[in-house]
Chain A
Amino acid sequence: MAKTVAERSSEDDIQRQELTELYRLMVLIRRFEETVYQKFHEAKIGGYLHRYDGQEALVAGIIPQLQLPGDYILCTYRDHAHALACGTSPGAVMAELMGRATGCAGGKGGSMHLIDPENGFLGGDGIVGGPVPVSLGVGYAIKYRGTKNVCVCYFGDGAMNQGGVHEAFNMVGLYKLPVLYILENNQFAMGTSVSRSTAQPDFVKKAEAHGIRGERVDGMDLLVVREAASRALDHIRTTGEPYFLELNCYRYVGHGIGDDNTKGWQTYRTEDEVAEWKLRDPIAKLRDTMEARGYLTPEQAEKIDEEVREEVHAAIVFAESSPEPALDSLYDHVYS
């Protein structure tokens, strides 16, 4: 039946609002990453630092659809975006990166180990492939309790070559556990491209070999990611079975801060290749789509940008004015 004008316009409103929020989230992630890079070079942040620039749609297209708390998220050390999308305040993330007591892990974890259990975020993991066996247990706990929740587990193309990943896939497939795997295929594992590390680069086949349904999706397009994730999540919530999405994307910057500093990335890709991928930028793409649909004007985009800059600035002010962890907390939390 044809929809009335009123129905169409209220659907439009919902779309507009929702997409505006996702657009804002992607812009927040991008600005946040650019800012932490700066702060690293001001020696306010230490350790390793892995940025998500270029991969924003993988987070913005999926995590806002989750029921948090209730659902769970696991991911890699490239985890700032995931924390922000889970609703961890930018201040608590920034404070963690600066090693402050107000950080989301009290300053004990740092960039690779952001965590926010109250929002369902079970943390970043510094070990390649590490979160995947853990997702098996999280999926089991969901099934055990008999809820309709889902565990979303992010990991990289390089991680697909870890033995533990395949043990976990098999068991998740065998026990039929409600886990959504998100393969962040940004084409490289540090200095090694997929073609140089992987005999069978059809990752979907590998998931299917373990009894997990899967598909390959354009990770540079938020709408495409969102739609695929929505279907996958529906499938998991109705059948209780796992699902696998390979999302193709590109990391714009070096693997981590070291790779950026030494220009190590020049050994495995050209500036032209980077520039070519940037033409498909997920943020620009969503903005274009929204402008074409009349959801967003350039002025509104500008305003979002400004608000986000203020938000990131506030996060820095919060973090920088927060105290370091108390020295006598060194031995706290070794045991529960």
Chain B
Amino acid sequence: MATMRYLQAIRLAITEEMERDPNVFLCGEDVGQYQGTYRVTEGLLQKFGAMRVVDTPISEIGIAGLATGSAMAGLRPVAEFMTWSFALEAMDQLVNHAAKITYMSGGRIHCPVVFRGPAGVGTQLSAQHSQSMESWYAHTPGFKVVMPFTPADAHGLLKQAIRDDSPVIFMEHAGLYGTHGEVPDDPDHVVEFGKAVVRRKGKDCTLVGYSRGVLMCLRAAETLAAEGIECEVIDLRTIVPLDMDTVVESVCKTHRAVIAQEEWRNVSVGSEIAARIYEMAFDQMDAPVERVAGADVPMPYAKNLERAAIPTDSDVVAAVKRTLA
């Protein structure tokens, strides 16, 4: 085990997979010479050369096409979007091409590509740069959608993503890049998709999160524990595939659930999980499922409005209390 930052864990995963498989290559804006906008890809150009670490123009359609086409032709690209906000430019390549080619071909072709980059909200980046859009991809059949919370998961899930034969949407959180954690030394450490993990045990209420939403849940659980309320915190790790077994098992014990996410509330991951809880465990619930989510507005710039638009652990605390009322 080595302790490292989330962004270093991502860099390590890319490095190890590039060392393991010569078909893996990296492309994106300023990933090489500039050493990465967030320094995630620092040193990789020097290590692997320009054929395997490709600096692209600001052409997201081009990046997505480079990745999709080369994956269809047998390579295993890892394409970086400088942030997920800019992937919107590439939506057609992503949704109509990468996500569908396996199905449209009757399984005759694979598209083993990873699209990765920072997502998440905050730091006053305002409407066009501060948003979380995982449900756009989760909505599209064909994508696996991965959102790690810890450095170990960032490492293991990214390695799994690179080895997976399907297109994977890998959303990092810029606000987690600096967080520390232990990462296994094993170069074959992978984390299986569709296996949620219980980050904290509890009997009173189930808190479901992913990415930085888990942090909201853990902090809320801490606060509530001081008041004698024991929450169980589940980190989904992957939105698609979605591990409902772990969620349902937990709510059968707690009979209450709060889902915490940064993305907008309307037609979101939380909506889906709530619906599935009702489908799978309706008679187990002692209270309506609560959702803590981003305000349904384009992200405002002003600090006070931004604070009001972004969900926090105190919103989770309040939601838990509503389920117990």
Per-residue contact bits, chain A 68-106, to B (CB 8 Å; 1 contact, 0 not): 000000000000000000000000000010011000010
Within 8 Å by CB of B302, from A196, A324, A331, lies A324
Whether B301 contacts A196 by the Cβ 8 Å rule is no
CA distance A130 to B89 in the complex (A): 10
Within 8 Å by CB of A164, from B89, B305, B308, B309, lies B89
Q: Which residues of B contact A (CB under 8 A)?
A: 29-30, 33-35, 37, 39, 55-62, 85-86, 89, 123-129, 295-298, 300-305, 308-309
Q: Which residues of B contact A128 (CB under 8 A)?
A: 58, 86
CA distance A192 to B302 in the complex (A): 31
Whether B55 contacts A196 by the Cβ 8 Å rule is yes
Interchain nearest-CB distance for A188 vs B (Å)? 10
Q: Which residues of A contact B300 (CB under 8 A)?
A: 107-108, 325, 330
Looking at chain B's contact residues, the main secondary structure is loop
Instruction: Give 15 new A-B contacts, CB below 8 A, not counting A46-B123, A46-B124, A158-B58.
Output: A99-B302, A99-B305, A108-B305, A111-B301, A112-B128, A113-B128, A126-B127, A129-B89, A161-B59, A161-B62, A190-B29, A267-B33, A324-B304, A325-B304, A331-B297
Per-residue contact bits, chain A 124-163, to B (CB 8 Å; 1 contact, 0 not): 0111111000000000000000000000000000110111
Given contacts A110-B124, A334-B296, contact A99 B59 (CB under 8 A): no
Interchain nearest-CB distance for B2 vs A (Å)? 24
Interface pairs (26), CB distance under 8 Å: A46-B124, A47-B126, A96-B301, A108-B127, A108-B300, A108-B301, A113-B126, A113-B128, A125-B128, A126-B128, A129-B89, A161-B57, A164-B89, A191-B34, A192-B29, A192-B33, A192-B55, A196-B55, A197-B58, A198-B57, A264-B34, A267-B33, A324-B304, A325-B300, A327-B304, A334-B297
CA distance A205 to B39 in the complex (A): 35
CA distance A113 to B299 in the complex (A): 12
Interchain nearest-CB distance for B102 vs A (Å)? 25
Whether A127 contacts B128 by the Cβ 8 Å rule is yes
Please name the residue on chain B nearest to A194 by beta carbon.
Answer: B57
Whether B29 contacts A329 by the Cβ 8 Å rule is no
